[in-house]
């Protein structure tokens, strides 16, 4: 529990949880959010029960409260489901090592800068993953119908994660009983629905038009051939671990590693053919590469099982070699991990008599290499911590240190070994002096939201944060992007942000509207980005946005203009109101200003060069001080 809370610290409504926030708000208040471009032409809301559940929850709790406790519930579901599955797959002591590994080691898969299993924010993915792991445990126990119901529950939360899990489960079932091959007949009705032109199956044989496809290519995570080096390394290391688990462990779990390896090959292969090469609409939406989430979970469990095996044999050199390979594979070098894996394979012959004396020598070399990587990690993190003013609330230095994989798993395992080798009195001391304080600290620090995130979330449905009330249906453009500001705080549709384009792969209408609005707002976004790249001018409020960019944003035309602009920098014209933040650091305030597009157009046409008269760049004393939260 301490490991779960510590390594899955909650940082608020961010990343994809913002999109689920919008979907929940949409189900609760469709008259308001139905005008948002993210929902105008349909969205993922139609394929998951989570938005409906969130909409119901918002009638009882505020969205920040619902998201915080919903995140904890999803973490606990994954935590319990992992243990339930591993109990059926591994021997008694080995499965506990694997359980710790799935909680402590890097959970990243796919494009590793975006995706991880058991996410520390609320989306439908971890809920679907938990249900899928329950299905794994039920299939392993021979409870077929219960397992199918658990997999159906996973599909109700997130069909894509469930489909990825189903690929591995199907392979395992086929090895157990070849009659499961008949499941491939499901392709026939799918093709018939595609030929009949019934959505979404009609996309099985169609390609997007060139313009739409160019926009879809911006979501580079969809195409395996466009993954970066770190993502491909993580994929390659998963393949190696699953192959080792299959060939070296020799247990029932090894058959699951084989199924995961073949399922991963099917998913990645289907993605390469149907998405990267043929670029078909439906496969692009289904994202077959997502099979890697469960394959990665099995790979992490296999890593722990291999470590346990070598610990039982007291082969410390081989343990360090595998740990070093993992450390290098998860981000330190481009190809160094491959050399470590080759050494790991050759290890039994390398240290057999008459070369057995090499064991302690090589173990020392590997330990020194690992220590060097740890020292380098400490120096880098200390530098970033200093840039954040040595404030834990601004930079989670303790967490950043312990995510170093050798420490993340090594320290809990050392505690476990100490427990196993202790008598009753020493175990009591470990509990009182170690486990209980660690659990208390993990629980106390689990809410790791920054001051800025707290201010956004504490202002939920405060439509007057700028000191003015916006008309119903007003569309707000927020720069830099802050969907939480438009959706959660002002309770208004957001005019445009890049995150709203997440649905364009599912619906061409979203792409069309998004392209029009991006074209309109691009000059303002570009100038705003240049402004933020000059910290001195940004803090001093000296950024200058050209009238051409403002005209492009606010001028009436063939496409609707935003009604209001919420900007983090001042314009030459008076703001309708301001919202003052004591973030990201106490001595460095952030000020959002609200401008009306209609008022800006009138002032520019009249040639009015009125200076912004609000005291928003001074010491924040005056009539707007009451807006401070």
Domain boundaries, the chain: 2-312+404-445, 453-627
Q: Strand, helix or coil at 577? A: strand
pLDDT at 614: 44
Residue 287 has pLDDT above 90, yes or no: yes
Q: Are 304 and 322 within 8 A, CB to CB?
A: no
pLDDT at 624: 32
Q: pLDDT band for 508, please (50, 70, 90 cuts).
A: confident
Name the least confident of 52-66, 228-242, 310-324, 567-581: 567-581
pLDDT at 199: 82
Size of the chain, expressed as the number of residues it contains: 629
Residue 277 has pLDDT above 90, yes or no: yes
Tell me whether strands 577-585 and 588-596 are parallel, antiparallel or unpaired. Answer: antiparallel
d(CA 143, CA 410): 35
d(CA 46, CA 170): 26
Percentage of residues in the chain having pLDDT higher than 70: 94
pLDDT at 357: 78
Q: CB neighbours of 188 closer than 8 A, spacing ≥ 6?
A: none
Q: Are 39 and 33 within 8 A, CB to CB?
A: yes
Q: How many CA atoms lie within 13 A of 605 on its CB side?
A: 8
Residue 544 has pLDDT above 50, yes or no: yes
The mean pLDDT value for 547-561 works out to: 90
Q: pLDDT band for 426, please (50, 70, 90 cuts).
A: very high
Q: Are 510 and 504 within 8 A, CB to CB?
A: yes
Q: pLDDT band for 48, please (50, 70, 90 cuts).
A: very high
- Nearest residue to 212 (alpha-carbon basis) of 451, 620, 4, 509: 509
pLDDT tens, residue by residue, 613-629: 443 433 333 333 333 22
The mean pLDDT value for 473-487 works out to: 92
d(CA 300, CA 76): 19
Q: How many CB atoms lie within 10 A of CB 215?
A: 20
Burial class (CB in 10 A: 0-12, 13-18, 19+), 352: exposed
pLDDT at 536: 60
Residue 269 has pLDDT above 50, yes or no: yes
Q: pLDDT band for 510, please (50, 70, 90 cuts).
A: confident
Q: How many CB atoms lie within 10 A of CB 277?
A: 11
Q: Strand, helix or coil at 594? A: strand
pLDDT at 309: 95
The mean pLDDT value for 544-551 works out to: 89
pLDDT at 542: 60
pLDDT tens, residue by residue, 349-376: 888 877 777 888 999 999 999 999 999 9
* Mean pLDDT, the chain, whole residue set: 89
d(CA 423, CA 570): 67
DSSP 146-207: HHHHHHHHHHHH-HHHHHHHHHHHHHHHHHH-GGGGGGGGGHHHHHHHHHTT-TTGGGGS--
Q: How many CA atoms lie within 13 A of 228 on its CB side?
A: 9
Residue 451 has pLDDT above 90, yes or no: no
Residue 142 has pLDDT above 60, yes or no: yes
| R_g of the chain, CA atoms, integer Å | 27
Burial class (CB in 10 A: 0-12, 13-18, 19+), 320: buried
pLDDT tens, residue by residue, 341-350: 999 999 988 8
d(CA 129, CA 118): 7
Residue 592, φ and ψ in degrees, nearest 5: -100, 140
pTM, two decimals, is 0.92
Residue 270 has pLDDT above 60, yes or no: yes
């Amino acid at each position: 529990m301490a490991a779960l809370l510590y390594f899955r610290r909650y940082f608020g409504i961010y990343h994809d949880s913002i999109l689920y926030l919008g979907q929940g708000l949409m189900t609760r208040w469709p008259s308001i959010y139905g005008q948002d471009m993210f929902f105008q032409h349909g969205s993922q809301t139609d394929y998951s029960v989570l938005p409906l559940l969130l909409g119901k929850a918002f009638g009882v709790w505020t969205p920040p409260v619902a998201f915080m406790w919903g995140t904890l519930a999803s973490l606990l579901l994954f935590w319990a489901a992992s243990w339930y599955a591993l109990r059926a797959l591994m021997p008694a002591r080995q499965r506990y090592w694997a359980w710790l590994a799935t909680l402590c080691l890097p959970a990243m898969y796919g494009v590793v800068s975006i995706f991880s299993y058991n996410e520390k924010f609320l989306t439908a993915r971890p809920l679907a993953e938990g249900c899928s792991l329950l299905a794994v445990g039920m299939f392993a126990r021979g409870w077929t119908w219960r397992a199918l119901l658990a997999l159906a529950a996973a599909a109700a939360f997130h069909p894509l994660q469930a489909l990825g899990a189903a690929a591995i489960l199907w392979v395992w079932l086929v090895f157990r009983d070849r009659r499961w091959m008949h499941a491939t007949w499901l392709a026939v009705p799918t093709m018939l629905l595609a030929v009949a032109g019934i959505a979404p199956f009609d996309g099985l044989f169609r390609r997007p038009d060139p313009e739409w496809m160019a926009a879809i290519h911006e979501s580079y995570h969809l195409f395996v051939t466009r993954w970066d080096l770190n993502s491909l390394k993580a994929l390659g290391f998963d393949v190696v671990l699953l192959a080792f688990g299959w060939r070296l462990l020799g247990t029932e779990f090894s058959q699951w590693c084989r199924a995961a390896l073949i399922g991963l090959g099917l998913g990645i292969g289907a993605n390469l053919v149907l998405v990267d090469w043929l670029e078909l609409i439906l496969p692009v939406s289904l994202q077959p590469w997502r099979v890697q989430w469960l394959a990665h979970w099995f790979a992490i469990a296999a890593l722990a099982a291999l470590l346990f095996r070598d610990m039982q044999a007291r082969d410390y050199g081989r343990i360090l070699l595998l740990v070093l390979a993992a450390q290098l594979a998860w981000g330190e070098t481009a190809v160094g991990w491959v050399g470590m894996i080759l050494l790991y394979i050759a290890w039994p012959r390398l240290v057999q008599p008459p070369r057995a004396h090499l064991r302690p020598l090589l173990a020392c070399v590997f330990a020194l290499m690992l220590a060097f990587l740890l020292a380098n990690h400490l120096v880098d993190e200390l530098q970033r911590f200093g840039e954040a003013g040595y404030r834990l609330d601004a930079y989670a230095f303790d967490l950043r240190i312990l995510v170093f994989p050798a420490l993340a798993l090594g320290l809990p395992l050392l505690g476990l070994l100490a427990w196993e080798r202790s008598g009753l009195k020493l175990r009591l001391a470990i509990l009182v002096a170690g486990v209980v304080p660690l659990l208390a600290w993990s629980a106390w620090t689990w809410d790791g939201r920054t001051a800025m995130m707290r201010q956004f979330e504490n202002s939920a449905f405060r439509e007057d944060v700028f000191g003015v009330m916006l008309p119903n249906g007003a569309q707000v453009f927020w720069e830099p992007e802050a969907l939480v500001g438009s959706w959660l705080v002002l309770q208004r549709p957001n005019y445009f942000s890049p995150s709203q384009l997440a649905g364009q792969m599912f619906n061409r209408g979203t792409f069309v509207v998004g392209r029009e609005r991006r074209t309109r707002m691009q000059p303002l976004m570009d100038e705003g980005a240049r402004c933020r790249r000059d910290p001195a001018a940004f803090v001093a409020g000296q950024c200058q946005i050209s009238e051409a960019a403002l005209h492009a944003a606010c001028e009436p035309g063939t496409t609707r203009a935003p009604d209001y602009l919420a900007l983090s920098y001042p314009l030459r014209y008076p703001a309708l109101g301001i919202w003052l933040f004591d973030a990201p650091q106490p001595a460095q305030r952030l000020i959002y200003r609200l401008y009306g597009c209609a008022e800006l157009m009138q002032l520019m046409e009249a040639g009015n060069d009125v200076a912004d008269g609000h005291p928003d760049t001074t010491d924040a004393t005056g009539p707007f001080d009451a807006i401070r939260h």
